[in-house]
Amino acid sequence: MKLQEIVERLRLELKTPNVPLEAEVKTGYASDLLSDVLAHSLEGDLWVTRQTHLNIVAIAVMRDLSGILLVSGAEPDPDTVEKALEKTVPIFRTSLPTFEAVGRLYQLGISGKR
């Protein structure tokens, strides 16, 4: 499923306008530990987290993730958005808690299969 469809189906708020949403997403990864994401996420994963600081963009770029979904209404820091725009990393936001956001992604066919 393309990022654009996920945004529409889950009514996500896009925090990085004009960043392409054409990436195909098949799997996701949920964690707030940067070292965990760095060690275990896969290329193309949609990362679900509550972290909002600049380092999330660096991790997304290093792991070639399809995007970052901030949960529980977390608002990205302004410098995080700026760096994400520079690196073309899509950042989305939802008021849903992590558990519910992951459940809805799973219902859309986005699994955590490794």
Residue type (1 letter), 92: F
Separation between Cα atoms, residue 28 and residue 37, nearest integer Å? 11
- pLDDT tens sequence across 16-45: 999 999 999 999 999 999 999 999 999 999
**Residue ranges of domains in the chain:** 3-107
- The CATH superfamily label for domain 3-107 reads HprK N-terminal domain-like (3.40.1390.20)
- pLDDT tens sequence across 72-104: 999 999 999 999 999 999 999 999 999 999 999
